[in-house]
Amino acid sequence: MAQTAGNNKLKVSSLFCGCGGMDLGIQGNFDFLDNHYAALPFEVVYAVDNDSYSTKIYNDNFEHKCEIKDVRAIIPNEVPDHDILLGGFPCQSFSISAQNPPRLGYKDDRGKLFFEMVKILKEKQPRFFIGENVKGLLSANKGKALPMIVNEFEKAGYHIHFKLLNASEFGIPQKRERIFIVGFRDFDDYFNFRFPRPNTLNGSKVKLKQVIDKEAHKDEKWFFSQRAIDGMLRVREKMNKGRVQDLEQPCNTISAHLAKVSLNGTDPVLMVGERYRRFTPREAANIQSFPLTFTLDSVSENRQYRAIGNAVPPVLMWHIANALVNSCVYEEVMNEEVMNEEVMNEEVNELIEA
């Protein structure tokens, strides 16, 4: 393992880190709504993204810093040793909403970026990796994209589990479905791993109204103009537009597209009285389960929407990382802590005896 003495955390390298949804989730120690998501035994030692705005948000929120870099420029043996590689590899080419241009899947250059993960896995052979992508990956390239990607990961020496998870089943006010691919270098880890079980078995999903900022109702800037409403109403029946959200339910999926939200698109919007309004960037971050302490303000609102819309919900990532700890890592961490405690006790005894 790539651990340093005195630190029993597993080291994480994060490709396509964006503003850090996955990275926050895997490290834990944050609050969302009434819950505390405990610190997990992971420490990010290397993070890269080529977007200077997302990385700015990232660097405002984490002690360690990420690099602005194209992952294709990474020389694998220069990546620091790590135990787990993360990669929410770009998804536009697999997305069902990306019909224009048509879905090219792995034939598109952006669809090939997961190969950069494969390259690093081949060279560094970390114990685990976690990849994330849109649901459309399941059907992209007539169903051939996912098996091809899994096959490449297997050729790099990994056993693979994958599963489609819905954020709304894990305490997040959003019906966001994403596929998670978890890779294991060691068969025992693969055998022991279980994806987290939905924690809404009693039917209690977090409602959108729990994360709405009522102060924003008072600010004209978030409301659509009458002209935009008239334009939408002219085509609404035919186009099924005007995606007003039910406050009593989790929100529909939000995406980077919120930066360009219009009433003629498919992005979710709010209805306040008789008027339509868009979400504020902070509300978008709430819908994605970022804690209120996560700061966004150093980049423009458009850039905030993009970074937040692209992110993996930290709470969802926390549940996956926690499941990994419980099924594969917990005993080791506990053993190491017991050993540390024994060493400490011995040292105390020696001092007492002296």
Ligand X SMILES: C[S@@+](CC[C@H](N)C(=O)[O-])C[C@H]1O[C@@H](n2cnc3c(N)ncnc32)[C@H](O)[C@@H]1O
**Residues classed as catalytic:** 91
Q: Which of 17, 130, 156, 211 binds ligand X (CB under 6 A)?
A: 17
Q: Which of 44, 66, 79, 91 binds ligand X (CB under 6 A)?
A: 91
Q: CB nearer to ligand X: give 108 or 189.
A: 108
21 binds ligand X (CB under 6 A): yes
280 binds ligand X (CB under 6 A): no
315 binds ligand X (CB under 6 A): no
In the complex, minimum distance from the CB of residue 136 to ligand X, in angstroms, rounded to a whole number: 13
As a whole number of angstroms, the distance between CA 116 and CA 339 comes to 38
Rounded to 5 degrees, what angle do the CA atoms 175, 181, 182 make? 120
302 binds ligand X (CB under 6 A): no
Write the secondary structure of the chain as one string of H (helix), E (strand) and C (coil).
CCCCCCCCCEEEEEECCCCCHHHHHHHCCEEECCEEECCCCEEEEEEEECCHHHHHHHHHHCCCCCEECCHHHCCHHHCCCCCEEEECCCCHHHCCCCCCCCCCHHHCCHHHCHHHHHHHHHHHCCCEEEEEEEHHHHCHHHHCHHHHHHHHHHHCCCEEEEEEEEHHHHCCCECCEEEEEEEECCHHHHHHCCCCCCCCCCCCCCCHHHHCCHHHHHCHHHECCHHHHHHHHHHHHHHCCCEECCCCCCECCCCHHHHHCCCCCCCEEEEECCEEECCCHHHHHHHCCCCCCCCCCCCCHHHHHHHHHHCCCHHHHHHHHHHHHHHHHHHHHHHHHHHHHHHHHHHHHHHHHC
In the complex, minimum distance from the CB of residue 271 to ligand X, in angstroms, rounded to a whole number: 29
Q: Which of 57, 71, 149, 285 binds ligand X (CB under 6 A)?
A: 71
In the complex, minimum distance from the CB of residue 172 to ligand X, in angstroms, rounded to a whole number: 13
As a whole number of angstroms, the distance between CA 142 and CA 164 comes to 18
59 binds ligand X (CB under 6 A): no
Q: CB nearer to ligand X: give 8 or 286.
A: 286
In the complex, minimum distance from the CB of residue 132 to ligand X, in angstroms, rounded to a whole number: 7
88 binds ligand X (CB under 6 A): yes
Q: Which of 31, 67, 70, 347 binds ligand X (CB under 6 A)?
A: 70
Q: Which stretch binds ligand X (CB under 6 A): 86-94, 240-248, 275-283, 321-329?
A: 86-94
255 binds ligand X (CB under 6 A): no
Q: Which stretch binds ligand X (CB under 6 A): 36-44, 290-298, 304-312, 346-354?
A: 304-312
22 binds ligand X (CB under 6 A): yes
Q: Which of 18, 28, 41, 173 binds ligand X (CB under 6 A)?
A: 18
250 binds ligand X (CB under 6 A): no
Residue 107 CB neighbours (<10 A):
12
Q: Which stretch binds ligand X (CB under 6 A): 66-74, 95-103, 218-226, 260-268?
A: 66-74
47 binds ligand X (CB under 6 A): no
19 binds ligand X (CB under 6 A): yes
Binding stretches for ligand X (CB under 6 A): 16-22, 49-51, 54, 70-72, 88, 90-91, 113, 310-312
